Structure 1
């Protein structure tokens, strides 16, 4: 009996991953075409933008908020810094830490791209983000 339940769980996982991949591809394609950003770029800019009162985070805090490996995040941050969308500096309190700060240009690019990202989530996220009656059924707890 557990095998049938486990197989159903695995099938739901496969479906969820497929939806995630399709949504991520759409976000990458549309954000790149309209705003010269990837979905990961957008996520980093959003996490910094939503930090108050100042749009900055220590690199390790940013890493905790985005779904990237440490090396991938470092490369992404270096590229966004090169593009003028954020700045890196040493933390005044702890010289071992790097602080990432959103620039005015980064904030403007994020705000311009946000309606595009939200529209994609609304239209293509149906069924996996809980934003429509056709949302995917809840996965039963595994015991």
Structure 2
């Protein structure tokens, strides 16, 4: 078994090399801000409207698309969610009657998502809360 190295390590030089640079500090600040905003949104949307942030963001994208149906693959490309996280969010929305899923008419391999009237109503009710939290946490 080999013995641990007892070579001299210049601690200040190593710490200086590992100390956050401007870019690393900016990255950490951005991640901290993202975590704070995400947590605040999740808490308020859940408490006031019984909807998670992923579900709200999915509804928000569907409303912004302003089309009758939306391909799941297109939504995945525009969303911050992974394919599996988006699938879970859409499944939860479908269980609550906020969206419906169907096979695409022109491509049977694709799934289309359609916002329901109930989904539009939940989105309309939750949007002021979403925007209020963004204004409060991003400033």
TM-score (norm 1): 0.81
Q: Which runs of 5+ in 1 are unaligned?
A: 127-143
Tell me how far 1:110 sits from its aligned partner: 0.3
The SS at the match of 2:65 is coil
Structure 1 residues 52-79: Cα deviation after superposition (integer angstroms, max 9, x where no partner): 242x210001101111111111111111
Q: Which moved more, 1:63-72 or 1:19-28?
A: 63-72
The SS at the match of 2:80 is coil
1:66 correspondence with 2:57: no
The SS at the match of 2:81 is coil
Tell me how far 1:39 sits from its aligned partner: 1.3
* Counterpart Cα distance in 2 of 1:60 and 1:85: 19
* Counterpart Cα distance in 2 of 1:75 and 1:44: 11
1:103 correspondence with 2:108: no
TM-score (norm 2): 0.84
Q: Which runs of 5+ in 2 are unaligned?
A: 1-16
| Aligned residue among 37, 54, 59 for 1:45 | 59
Work out which of the two has the higher radius of gyration on C-alpha atoms and give 1 or 2.
2
- Relative to total residues, which structure has the larger helix share, 1 or 2? 2
| Aligned residue among 116, 122, 126 for 2:135 | 122
Structure 1 runs, 4 residues or longer, greater than 2 Å off:
none
* Counterpart Cα distance in 1 of 2:91 and 2:134: 27
Aligned residues: 122
